[in-house]
Amino acid sequence: MEKIADKPMVRYIIRGLIDGTLSTLGVVIGASGADSHIIISAGLGGGLANGLSNILGAFTAEKASLERERINMERKLVKNHGYLKKSLIYKNALKDTMICGVIDGISTTLGSALPVLPFFFLKPNVALYVAIGITVGLLFLLGIFIGKISKENLLISGTKMVVGALLVSFLCFIIENIFS
């Protein structure tokens, strides 16, 4: 477990899955008064946009942080040893930044597909509650995984994630009811 937790990409997978499932659950609940094809289109379209946004956001934020770190290190180094931007260390860090951004976005997109899946097979009024169940179940499992990594109580860690999913569901139902 510790070897998995040491991989920087695990953080981006977890973050992406949480982001994708919760944001798309909000879209699905918000569109729940519509036909299945509208809910599917809204959920998948929103999930894809969210995933691509996370690729761009993660890459630009990480690259900015990497650049700031590089500039600070260059100031400390003797100039005649060359700039860090040309170094293998910097090039590898830049490559890792790009990979993490892509993993974040793909995880978000995959996570966003989960709350939409029931609408392909079930009537919208049933699919909605199955989507909530899938999201709650996934987040509980992610919470357990996070608990294992952080050596916290697994049940408490999983329950925290479930509370987050239920809070999102509750707030989105309120918004949907206000506008329907």
pLDDT in tens, the chain (180 residues): 556 556 678 888 998 999 999 999 999 999 988 999 999 999 999 999 988 888 888 778 777 887 787 777 766 665 555 566 667 777 787 788 888 888 989 999 999 999 999 999 999 999 999 999 999 999 999 999 999 998 999 999 999 999 999 999 999 999 998 988
Confidence (pTM): 0.78
Which one, of 20, 44, 25, 46, lies nearest residue 107 by Cα? 20
pLDDT tens readout for residues 64-106: 887 787 777 766 665 555 566 667 777 787 788 888 888 989 9
| Alpha-helical runs (H) found in 77-123 | 88-113, 118-121
**Termini Cα distance of the chain:** 46
**Single-letter code of the amino acid located at 18:** I
Q: What is the DSSP string of 128-154?
A: HHHHHHHHHHHHHHHHHHHHHHHT--H
Percent of the chain having pLDDT more than 90?
Answer: 52
> Where do the structural domains in the chain lie, given as residue ranges?
2-174
